[in-house]
């Protein structure tokens, strides 16, 4: 319950802000570029810190990391609600991302540690369903709070949920043991990965306003490439790397990571769909939230039903295929289009997301060795959040290219997301011919390994 509630809040915060962004921009006099950074900085910090958060959870205990993430998330949410200007809001959102990183990784890795074999598929299905419920509640809750209490209320609502989650965590989640001699962190790897993610996102965000041939954009892309090359060269030589690149020797694991990255395009579309609904379509925040609910509700329903019933290859490739088709169905807007024009596409996209998310999570967790499950969880959540960050930035370039015709800009966004989904569906169908890994054999006492045991295994 504690894990699911934390995941619910984590997803709610993403979708609730998407609906409130136009009101935030008006209230704080922020440009579209600034509005993008209110969304981007949160997912960027998540992408940068999820890998080290997974390593810290393996070293010091998952409950400790989870509780710490809840406290940081609550404090940052209060800071967001009290922000006097766009700069303060962006800074508070960055801190919120720190807490969110710890929450997301530890919740995910706890599931992979506690549940084995077919039960893991069921657990991931429940987790996906709760995430879908968060997605369904977020737009409606965000729209209602923004319309009735103002945009600051969308951050204040996190406080009571955080308190309840923290109480449940203390009462229900086993304490675990700290590693007697925890392995050191990898600051060089963290710095290089952070530099790569930040430079790439900044370059893509600026490309819409300044053009791809702008010196700043080209410099950002070059810096991102250099940092990525240095990271790939450094990590195999580290005794305790932030990311063990040997995990990617498994072709299925690598394919799932690519699919996780690409699947985030569907979520990134929500940002610009919300902008279009509240500008060109003329809807208020509440009605815009209602218009987005079909996707989230379908995700919730399909995640609940799929779980352990659909093989990973079918679930991942089929989910990506449906997601691509759903985005394509929405790419027909014109100046006379309304919210009903995207309903069918949202339903199909939501079905695809609900089908593939639990399957990808189960495949990654079963593929990773027990002492690397925190790292694997960090890798998956990092790829997912980095995909959302890059998706918002890259799709924003397409959206702004037709700034005088929002419907045409949104069509470009949907077509790009559709192409991404269809392409990666073919990749998943090819690469996942065999299961990503063999289920773990049951033991007499199926208890999760404590961090001290994991550290001992990692040093052997």
Query: Do 357 and 314 share a structural domain?
Result: yes
Mean of per-residue pLDDT scores for the chain = 80
How many domains does the chain divide into? 2
Residues 149-191: pLDDT tens digits? 889 999 998 999 898 888 888 887 666 555 556 667 788 888 8
Residues 113 and 251 in one domain: yes
Cα(100)–Cα(187) distance, integer angstroms: 20
Residues 6+ apart with CB under 8 A from 215: none
Same domain, 273 and 316: yes
Last residue of a domain, one of 220, 237, 254: 237
| DSSP secondary structure code for residue 175 in this structure | -
pLDDT of residue 176: 56
Higher pLDDT, 243 or 346: 346
pTM of the model: 0.74
What average pLDDT does range 267-281 have in this prediction?
A: 85
Q: What is the pLDDT of residue 280?
A: 83
Residues 34, 163, single domain; the answer is yes
The residue among 256, 339, 333 whose CA lies nearest residue 295 is 339
- Asked if the structure places residue 107 within a domain, the reply is yes
| Residue 164 and residue 41 share a domain | yes
Decide if 412 contacts 401 (C-beta within 8 A): yes
Report the alpha-carbon distance of residue 206 to residue 345 in Å, rounded: 30
Q: What's the pLDDT score for residue 9?
A: 80
pLDDT of residue 365: 75
Say if CB 146 and CB 154 are below 8 A apart. yes
Q: How confident is the model at residue 93 (pLDDT cuts 50, 70, 90)?
A: very high
Same structural domain, 96 and 217: no
Does the pLDDT at position 455 exceed 70? no
Residues 6 or more apart whose Cβ sits within 8 Å of residue 211: 217
Altogether, the residues listed in the chain come to a count of 460
Phi/psi of residue 283, each to 5°?
Answer: -90, 150
pLDDT of amino acid 457: 41
CATH of the domain at 168: 1.20.1250.20
Which candidate, 48, 54, 108, 53, places its Cα nearest to that of 358? 108
User: How many whole angstroms separate alpha carbon 22 and alpha carbon 35?
Assistant: 8
- Of 216, 237, 258, the last residue of a domain is 237
More confident residue, 58 or 238: 238
State which H helix or E strand residue 155 sits in.
helix 153-156
Residue 453 lies in a domain: no
Per-residue pLDDT tens digits for 405-440: 888 989 999 999 999 999 999 988 888 765 444 444
Q: Are 413 and 269 in contact (CB under 8 A)?
A: yes
The per-residue pLDDT for range 207-252, each reduced to its tens digit, is 766 777 889 989 999 999 999 999 999 999 888 888 888 888 888 7
- Residue 325's pLDDT is 96
Residues 89 and 104 in one domain: yes
User: Does residue 395 or residue 29 have the better pLDDT?
Assistant: 395
Opening angle at CA 208, ends 206 and 214, nearest 5: 60
Q: Do 201 and 136 have their domain in common?
A: no
pLDDT at residue 441 is higher than 50: no
Domain with 91, as residue range(s), is 2-173+238-436
Helix (H, G, I), strand (E, B) or coil at 174: coil
Between CA 397 and CA 401 the distance in angstroms is 6
Alpha-carbon distances of 6 from 1, 3, 32, 167, rounded to whole Å? 9, 5, 30, 12
Cβ(436)–Cβ(312) below 8 Å: yes
Residue 444 has pLDDT above 50, yes or no: no
312 and 203, same domain (yes or no): no
Does one domain contain both 213 and 314?
A: no
């Amino acid at each position: 319950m504690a894990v699911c509630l934390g995941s619910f809040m984590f997803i709610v915060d993403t979708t609730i802000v998407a609906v409130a962004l136009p009101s935030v921009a008006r209230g704080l006099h922020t440009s579209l570029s600034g509005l993008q950074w209110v969304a981007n900085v949160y997912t960027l910090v998540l992408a940068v810190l999820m890998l080290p958060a997974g390593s810290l959870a393996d070293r010091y205990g998952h409950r400790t990391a989870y509780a710490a993430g809840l406290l940081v998330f609550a404090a940052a949410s209060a800071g967001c609600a009290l922000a006097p200007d766009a700069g303060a809001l962006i800074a508070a959102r960055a801190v919120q991302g720190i807490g969110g990183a710890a929450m997301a990784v530890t919740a995910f890795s706890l599931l992979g540690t506690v549940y084995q074999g077919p039960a893991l598929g069921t657990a991931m299905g429940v987790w996906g369903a709760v995430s879908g419920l968060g997605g369904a509640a977020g737009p409606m809750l965000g729209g209602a709070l923004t319309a009735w209490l103002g945009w600051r209320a969308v951050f204040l609502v996190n406080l009571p949920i955080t308190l309840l989650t923290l109480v449940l965590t203390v009462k229900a989640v086993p304490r675990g043991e700290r590693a007697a001699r925890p392995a050191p962190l990898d600051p060089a790897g963290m710095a290089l990965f952070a530099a790569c993610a930040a430079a790439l996102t900044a370059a893509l965000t600026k490309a819409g306003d300044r053009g791809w041939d702008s010196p700043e954009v080209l410099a950002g892309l070059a810096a991102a490439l250099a940092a990525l090359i240095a990271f790939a060269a450094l990590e195999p030589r580290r005794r305790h790397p932030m990311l063990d690149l040997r995990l990617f020797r498994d072709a299925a694991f690598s394919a799932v990571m690519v699919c996780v990255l690409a699947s985030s395009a569907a979520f990134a579309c929500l940002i610009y769909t919300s902008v279009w609904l509240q500008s060109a379509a003329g809807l208020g925040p509440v009605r815009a939230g209602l218009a987005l609910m079909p996707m989230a509700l379908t995700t919730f329903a399909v995640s609940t039903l799929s779980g352990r019933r659909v093989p990973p290859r079918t679930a991942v490739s089929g989910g990506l295929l449906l997601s691509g088709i759903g985005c394509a169905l929405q790419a027909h807007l014109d100046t006379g289009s309304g919210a009903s024009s995207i309903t069918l596409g949202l339903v199909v996209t939501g079905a695809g997301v609900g089908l593939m998310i639990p399957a990808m999570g189960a495949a990654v967790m079963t593929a990773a060795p027990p002492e690397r499950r925190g790292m694997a969880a960090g890798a998956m959540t990092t790829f997912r959040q980095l995909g959302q960050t890059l998706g918002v930035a890259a799709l924003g370039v397409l959206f702004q290219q037709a700034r005088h015709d929002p419907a045409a800009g949104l069509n470009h966004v949907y077509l790009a997301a559709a192409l991404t989904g269809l392409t990666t569906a073919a990749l998943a169908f090819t690469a996942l011919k065999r299961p990503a890994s063999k289920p773990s054999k049951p033991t007499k006492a199926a208890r999760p390994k404590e961090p001290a045991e994991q550290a001992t295994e990692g040093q052997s």
